Amino acid sequence: MPIHYKQLEFCMKQLATITVIGRDKTGVIARVTNVLFEQGANIEALEEQVTRGQFSMVIQASWKAARWVPREVERALEKAGRELGMEIRLRPSAPKGAQRFAILVTKEPHCLEALLREIKAGRIQAKPALILGNRPALKAIATAHGIPFKLVPWEDRAKAEAAALRILEAEGVDFLVLARFMKILSPNFVWRFKNKIINIHPSLLPSFPGPQAYRQAYERGVKIAGVTAHFVTMQLDEGPIIAQGSFPVRPNMGLPEIMAAGQKLEAKVLIRAVRLYLQKRLDVYWGVVKEV
């Protein structure tokens, strides 16, 4: 099949994500976008918001291969960050097949084990850089697969998130997979990985958000239950939906049976979402995921 010029041009682009976080002040958008313009970037998407005086912005930018000099871009953004008193980070997109990701866990092993089986079989084309847990329960599984395990206690969320971000930055992580990670991430954390955190939730969202989804489904007497893989946003369990799966709730089916059926499906749907993400078939437009 012949390659059209436009396709070749797209393949030669270098993509990167720039995150800007700090106290709100005037002129930030203009300053950062001007720096990127001076560095030869084309801004493809920009989103910003102010929450309780904190300014957060994510920019998707691209460079023609000949104009991409990452160290110069980093230096220019670091200088702007110092002068603005804000944290500005550049995260270049990894080449196809070279993405590194972190798996975040608590104590339930089924999603983690399923992900690791898919990775070992070569059906997930990305490198698990580390497994990060807020409890040590799943360390043995990580060790058995030769993957570093990092324990970050989560009693103080701000300190825990700061420690987790340092680890993820040091490991050069491109995206995160929450494999039944039972902690809520703050906007401060999520903005640094916008549309790069994949979570599995045990309900057919938007129904039954929160931690007791199976119990809510059981108590409401639903006839069809299911699970949802979605991108994590600042709003709990309201992120753009990537994939869903469902199962019928039979008459007289108890809560333990519903939970068992749901857990089998959780791993399958989470894996499907990760594959779609890695195939670069997802685009988030006005809060809705579209396959492209």
Least confident of 71-85, 148-162, 216-230, 276-290: 276-290
Whether residue 121 is predicted with pLDDT greater than 60 in this model: the reply is yes
Whether residue 1 is predicted with pLDDT greater than 50 in this model: the reply is no
Number of neighbouring beta carbons within 10 Å of residue 4: 9
Nearest to 23 by CA among 88, 89, 85, 90: 85
**pLDDT tens digits, one per residue of 162-218:** 999 999 999 989 999 999 999 999 988 998 898 899 999 999 988 888 889 999 999
pTM: 0.84
What is the pLDDT at residue 19?
Answer: 93
3-state class of 53 per DSSP?
coil
Number of neighbouring beta carbons within 10 Å of residue 226: 24
**pLDDT tens digits, one per residue of 51-110:** 888 899 999 899 998 889 999 999 999 999 999 999 999 988 876 657 899 999 999 999
* CATH 3.40.50.170 residue spans of the chain: 100-291
Express as a percent the part of the chain with pLDDT over 90. 71
Number of neighbouring beta carbons within 10 Å of residue 68: 19
What is the pLDDT at residue 263?
Answer: 92
Residues 6 or more apart in contact with residue 101 via CB below 8 angstroms: 126, 127, 128, 129, 173, 174, 175, 176, 177
Whether residue 36 is predicted with pLDDT greater than 70 in this model: the reply is yes
- Domain 100-291, CATH: 3.40.50.170
* CATH 3.30.70.260 residue spans of the chain: 5-92
Name the band, by pLDDT with cuts 50, 70 and 90, for residue 291: low
Q: Which residue spans within the chain are E strands per DSSP?
A: 14-23, 42-51, 54-63, 87-92, 100-105, 127-133, 149-151, 175-178, 197-201, 224-231, 241-248, 282-285, 288-291
Express as a percent the part of the chain with pLDDT over 70. 91
What is the pLDDT at residue 4?
Answer: 39
Whether residue 286 is predicted with pLDDT greater than 50 in this model: the reply is no
Q: Which CATH class is domain 5-92?
A: alpha beta
How far apart CA 208 and CA 161 sit, in angstroms, is 26
Q: Which of 156, 174, 237, 283 is catalytic?
A: 237
What is the pLDDT at residue 279?
Answer: 83
What is the pLDDT at residue 3?
Answer: 36
Known active-site residue 237: yes
What is the pLDDT at residue 82?
Answer: 95
